[in-house]
Structure 1
Amino acid sequence: MRRVLGVDIGTSLTKAVVFDENGNSLAQASAPSKVHHLRGGAVEQDFEQVVGTVATVVRAVSAELDGAVEALALTGQGDGLWLRDAEGFPVRPAISWLDGRASELLTAWQENGVTREVFRRTGSGMFPGCTAAIMSYLDTHEPEVLDRAVVAGYCVDAVVQRLTGEITVDISDASLPFIDPATRAYDEAAIEACGLGHRRTLFADPAPPKKVFRLGRAGAALLGLPEGLPVTGGPFDLPACAIGAGVRRPGDGILTAGTTLACQVLTTDAVYDREGEPAGMFLCTPNEGEFLRGMPAMVGTAGIDWACKLLGIEVAEVGPLLAASTPGAGGITALPFLATSGERAPFVDAGARAQFRGLSLENTRADLVRALCESIAYAARHCLSAAGLSGTLYACGGGVRSPEWTQIFADVLARPIVIPDDPDVGARGAALVAAEAIGEPFDADLWAAKSTTVEHQPGAAELYDRGYSEYLTSLDVAREQWSR
């Protein structure tokens, strides 16, 4: 039986899943990663601890198998900055995509036209936690760190380097913000616009599509796998989830209701409105000529976790509370922008902040929870509209494990949502790419066939259509306030 081991290195959790050729999960394991929230909006991770989680989960699933795997397929979190030396060891703690230390710099770039210039060239907006902003910040405040580094990359390619010895980067990771999607090469003028031309050597050349690496001696010893085992490094988690969920046709999209709200739509056209709002991402995929228009909003289950802590409830209580309120949340409306670093899609504003309006003594905590969940669903509609959704919509992530919240998403979006039965779609996508890369592709349609469809309710959809218009109006007013 053919088997591939997929590893998804998330921000707070690393998962390993072994898949057979029919897409069945044979073994799985997970291990938590530590996320350090520091002063000034800084968010960092210890690379050695993250590598340790990879070793833990790989060894755990390997112990459950009675045979070998054909390949190790890696995916994981994108953005941020993972600086390493020539041997793959960190020169400072990894800086997360959640990081907000470059917020003031990003605001200055918005005012002086840097973000718009980069967007015109690459189709990607920038936000405080993207590589360009963090590198520019370090170039001013920690230049000696950049001087010591040999490569400025991301989580997945950092792990690839440690396991294989290869300095590389997947084209999907490199897409934000310096890759021209039409040429799949760095746009040198975009790098210069961010003042990073003198740091150009830190950017690794993107690997060819479906590049296969080999597990080195040190990596084999760390993971307990055979030296020389084929290894693939990407795409990162957003496009990996799209592939694993079943996004195949132009116009199809995926909503990932995770820590953030990642919305993507597949397209074969690298043309975009260069004068539009500089936000979102234009991600290259493993298939040349195919792209994902990504709108990964900072809102998501992190906001639900905040609400649960504030209200003194468990996450398991969210579903019953949603059922205890009604569409419209008892008159409460909300803007869900709780991230310290603001918002990055479908607009970028480091000053974006949450609001709750319309509260009265008659409202309950069920109304508050529902208002927040409805506002996140409105944000999803905003993102998917900006990304150009026209086909089938798939969904994954912790948020859609709640039937009540999934129904809200379907009703707000006024369309059916297809939910894969296997929640580990990121690892699935990485495994599908790995199988194709080693020349023995799996049946992707067979893998995507196991799913559940949630239909929207026309009556609720009509109410939410009015609510969405009100949401956009409130957002316009709030953005004027934030700018002041």
Structure 2
Amino acid sequence: MIIGVDIGTSLTKAVVFDEVGVSLHQACTPSEVHHLPGGLVEQDLDQVIGTVATVVREVAARLDAPVTALALTGQGDGVWLRDEDGNAVRPAISWLDGRANALLAKWQADGVSREVFRRTGSGMFPGCAAAILSYLDTHEPEVLDRAVVAGYCVDAVVQRLTGAITVDVSDASLPFLDPKTRRYDEGAIAAVGLSHRRGLLAEPAAPKAVFSLNRHGAELLGLPEGLPVTAGPFDLPASAIGAGVREPGDGILTAGTTLACQVLTDSAEFDGEGEPAGMFLSTPTPGEYLHAMPAMVGTASIDWICRLLGIEVTGIGPLLAQSPPGAAGVRALPFLSASGERAPFVDASARAQFAGLSLEHGRADVVRALCESIAYAARHCFEAAGLSGRLYACGGGVRSAEWTQIFADVLGRPIVIPSDPGVGARGAVLVAAEALNQPYDRDLWASSSRTVSFVPENAEFYQRGYADYQASLTAARGLWRL
């Protein structure tokens, strides 16, 4: 009876699984995301804590056996500043935030981004901790003076529930952690001018670390004081673990708010010569890493097109079916985020475009062009990450059979879809089971899935379409300006 909790950007979910990995009970509730003028995106820690309490209490009330542990995962990046008691000293700054766009562009021009990439294998972007903390150090230094820790969503919740100031190695991986040593690289911290703020970074927890629910956390969740709590990895690695990614070369596509493309590897080698983008995420297993390319072009783009066209998200599938592969000649670049793109390249000025439109086209063609362009972005990411094995997929985007087929055809490979959508919570539970020495059958937990095969003639067509996408992207990058 381990309750897995996935604290997403816009939704918090709690799930309990049976002994073979099938969800028994689940609950979810939305989190508030505040989009402010100037590309600012913030969240309220107390509101997020409230969502955790809501879903945990709801699931626990349905159980006919005692809860044995709480396993947490959630969104990564951004900055969640707290005092020694775990209270926020300012609203949390989301990974979606764009206030540091100009600073990031300066770091790219000055070579700072490449220096950090050379040291840690992490490509910085406006919503990462380095950019946000440096921005605050200039514009809100008094806030950093009041803070005791600058962390992330999951460890902010852990501090409130257990009193522990900690961070998982996966969260710490971007951008200051050397993934091979699992320690902070002081040169990377110095490169972004934050050595004097080094004390705000919590030391990464040891593998299989377990914390305990304190009195305040117990009262908040309605669970026993002293209950074991595990913290991480954050949602990207947790989803890979929950989906069944095991062998080097295997990958996972998460079609969520982030279009996260990850490939498991046993080598975190980076020479700093490539484009400074993506990251190597440390996993719970020392010596294993996820080479991640988390693009900014996920389902938020679909939400935008639905609002623009006045349609429901559930109407995307039928529209995709009405337009042929290639969207009747309409082409798109999907970079709609106000903070640009972060993988497989970093450019805060990246912006979307549609081309090839005429009076003969309808909204089905526009929707299909956008969905195809996001699939092309996924292929670009996986090529950079080194996908060579089996591919899994999860996230809200793969609930659409039509869009999932586009992903399979553009990538030219079959995609394994776990039947249970709560793979992030599932991964957190499996990590907790390992930490608590609770045995489980890995094969049974990974067996509940279906496979979407690609259509060979469509894959051949999209091979040419991908070349056109790459040419359009190269041309557009020469024109983007902040």
| TM-score in terms of structure 2 length | 0.99
C-alpha distance in structure 2 between counterparts of 1:26 and 1:416, whole Å:
29
Aligned to 2:5: 7
**1:121 matched to 2:119:** yes
CA distance in 2, matches of 1:342, 1:270: 26
Pick aligned residue for 1:95 from 89, 93, 96: 93
Question: 2-side partners of 1:11 and 1:168: how far apart?
Answer: 20
Match of 2:415 in 1: 417
Q: Secondary structure at the match of 1:282?
A: strand
**In 1, Cα distance between equivalents of 2:141 and 2:99:** 15
CA deviation vs aligned residue, 1:258-303 (integer Å, no higher than 9, x gap): 0120000000001124211000011000000000000000001100
Whether the 8 Å CA contact 1:116–1:278 is kept in 2: the answer is: yes
1:166 aligns with 2:152: no
**Which amino acid is 2:133 matched to?**
M
Q: Which residue number corresponds to residue 472 of structure 2?
A: 474
5 Å-filtered alignment, 1:14-33, equals: 14-33=12-31
CA displacement, residues 30-56 of structure 1 (integer Å, 9 cap, x when unaligned): 011000011211100000000000000
Matches within 5 A, 1:340-359: 340-359=338-357
In the TM superposition, 1:416-455 aligns within 5 A as 416-455=414-453
Question: For 1:27, what is the secondary structure of its paired residue?
Answer: strand
- For residues 186 and 195 of structure 1, the distance between their equivalents in structure 2, rounded to whole angstroms, comes to 15
Cα deviation 1:385-430 (Å, max 9, x = unaligned): 1000000000000100000000000000000000000000000000
Question: Aligned partner of 1:94: which letter?
Answer: A
2:137 is matched with which residue? 139
Aligned pair partner of 1:46 in 36, 44, 47: 44
Tell me what 2:264 maps to. Answer: 266
* Mapped partners of 1:177, 1:197: distance in 2: 14
Matched, 1:184 2:182: yes
| Residue 19 (structure 1) shift | 1.4
Opposite residue 301 of structure 2, the aligned amino acid is G
Q: CA RMSD in A?
A: 0.7
Quote the Cα distance in structure 1 between the aligned partners of 2:205 and 2:153. Answer: 15
Cα offsets for 1:342-392 (capped at 9, x unmatched): 000000000000010000111110000000000000000000110000000
Distance in 1 of aligned mates of 2:476 and 2:162:
48
In the other structure, the counterpart of 1:245 is 243
Question: Which residue of 382, 385, 407 corresponds with 1:384?
Answer: 382
Distance in 2 between the 1:161 and 1:29 partners? 23
- Alignment of structure 1 residues 70-81 onto 2, 5 Å: 70-81=68-79
Rounded Cα–Cα distance in structure 1 between residues aligned with 2:6 and 2:467: 37
| SS of the residue 1:313 aligns to | coil
Cα deviations by residue, 1:187-237 (Å, 9 ceiling, x for unpaired): 000000000000000000000011000111100000001111110000000
How far has the Cα of 1:483 moved from its partner? Answer: 5.2
- Which structure 2 segments of 5+ residues have no match? none
1:112 alignment partner AA: D
Deviation at 1:443? 1.8
Corresponding residue for residue 310 of structure 2: 312
CA distance in 2, matches of 1:351, 1:278: 16
Inter-partner Cα distance in structure 1 for 2:356 and 2:164 = 56
Which of 59, 63, 80 aligns to 1:82? It is: 80
Name the CA distance, whole Å, in 1 between partners of 2:24 and 2:454: 34
Identity of matched residues, %? 76
C-alpha separation in 2, matches of 1:448 and 1:101: 41
Q: What is the Cα deviation at residue 445 of structure 1? A: 2.1
For 1:282 and 1:311, how far apart are their aligned partners in 2?
38
Match of 1:197 among 188, 195, 198: 195
**1:432–1:441 Cα contact (<8 Å) kept:** no
Query: Pick from 100, 103, 106: which aligns with 1:105?
Result: 103
Q: Given residue 307 of structure 1, which amino acid in structure 2 is its aligned partner?
A: I
Residue of structure 1 in register with 2:225 after alignment: 227
Quick check: 1:4–1:20 contact (8 Å CA) kept in 2?
A: no
**Pairing of 1:204-215 with structure 2 (within 5 A):** 204-215=202-213
Task: Show structure 1 runs of 4+ deviating over 3 A.
Answer: none
Which of the numbers 288, 291, 300 marks the counterpart of 2:289? 291
**Partner amino acid, structure 1, of 2:240:** A
Cα offset, 1:165, TM superposition: 0.4
Q: Contact 1:136/1:194 (CA < 8 Å) preserved in 2?
A: yes
Which residue identity lines up with residue 133 of structure 1 in the other structure? Answer: A
1:195 match: secondary structure: coil
Matched residue SS, 2:49: helix
Q: 1:183 Cα shift?
A: 0.6
- The answer to whether 1:368 aligns with 2:394 is no
Aligned residue for 2:277?
279
- For residues 363 and 42 of structure 1, the distance between their equivalents in structure 2, rounded to whole angstroms, comes to 35
TM-score w.r.t. length of structure 1: 0.99
Shift of 1:21: 2.0
Question: Whole-Å Cα distance in 2 between the matches of residues 10 and 379 of structure 1?
Answer: 22
Q: Distance in 1 between matches of 2:355 and 2:427?
A: 40
Residue of 55, 58, 65 corresponding to 1:57: 55
- Name whichever of 166-175 and 434-443 sits farther off: 434-443
Equivalent pair of 1:5/1:69 in contact (CA under 8 Å): yes
2:458 corresponds, among 457, 460, 468, to 460
Amino acid at match of 1:408: I
SS at match of 1:327: coil
Structure 1 counterpart of 2:32: 34
Deviation at 1:96, TM superposition (A): 0.4
Q: How many residues align?
A: 482
Counterpart-to-counterpart distance in 1, 2:99 and 2:397? 28
